[in-house]
Amino acid sequence: MVAAAKRWGLDQAPLAPPAPPAAKPRITARPGFEVDHQEDWNLPPVFTTIPTRQKIVFLTIDDGSDKDPEFLRMMQELKIPYTAFLSNYLIEDDYGYFRRMQSLGHTLNNHTLHHPYLPGLSYDDQKTEICDMQDIMEKQFGKRPTVFRAPYGNYNQDTLRAAKSCGIKYAPIWNEEVFVDHWEYREDDQKMRRGDIVLTHFRGRSDWNGTMIDDMRRFLNKITREGYAVARLEDYL
């Protein structure tokens, strides 16, 4: 691992995560992120952090625009788990890239067909965006996800109702977002917390002043320096 870290330009080798919990934590909606009838209709919870005492974070990567084979190699050599949330209009030109990602042990989840602002759509249109993406995920990757992320982190009750109707159980968003040149935090104290979900995007030089490799180098250097390891989100759901 030390050699791999050096090869990819990291300051030090990433920390190994603990074993998955024997009993998975109970996931509920983050306070203030609930919708009407959240609990009595058993709607998928929206949350930003997994309850855990372990010093871990969860890496999630959205949309699917950039398809860098070097990124796949980097993460495989460094043994870093991540969860992808995919939008069909950005992945349909190369489903094979994401099949390769899946074959390496990473989970592919639902991020809608076209990445719209969902609260601006009717219930039926939201259902089309989410549930038709479920059909595509099953056809292309052999599995209907149970995890969904609303584009931009924006949702309403109809979003969660529609998601539930086609098999979604969880609707995580994020507590931090990493870019190639900076971090953004949801919390006012600008700090990571144990169990935080971190967002980044499949982006390259056409969108950023850098590559996915640069982005992951920034992410891994920071969390390792602060004593965090990257755990697999699905092990906790």
Percent of the chain with pLDDT over 70: 100
pLDDT digits (tens, 9 = 90+) for 14-67: 999 999 999 999 999 999 999 999 999 999 999 999 999 999 999 999 999 999
How many degrees, rounded to 5, is the angle at CA 161 between CA 155 and CA 163?
Answer: 75
Question: pLDDT tens digits for 118-145?
Answer: 999 999 999 999 999 999 999 999 999 9
pLDDT digits (tens, 9 = 90+) for 86-121: 999 999 999 999 999 999 999 999 999 999 999 999
Question: Per residue, what are the HEC states of 111-165?
Answer: CCCCCCCHHHCCHHHHHHHHHHHHHHHHHHHCCCCCEECCHHHCCCHHHHHHHHH
Domains, in order of start, for the chain: 44-236 (3.20.20.370)
- For the entire predicted model, the pTM comes to 0.97
CA distances from 145 to 40, 153, 179, 228 (A): 23, 18, 26, 27
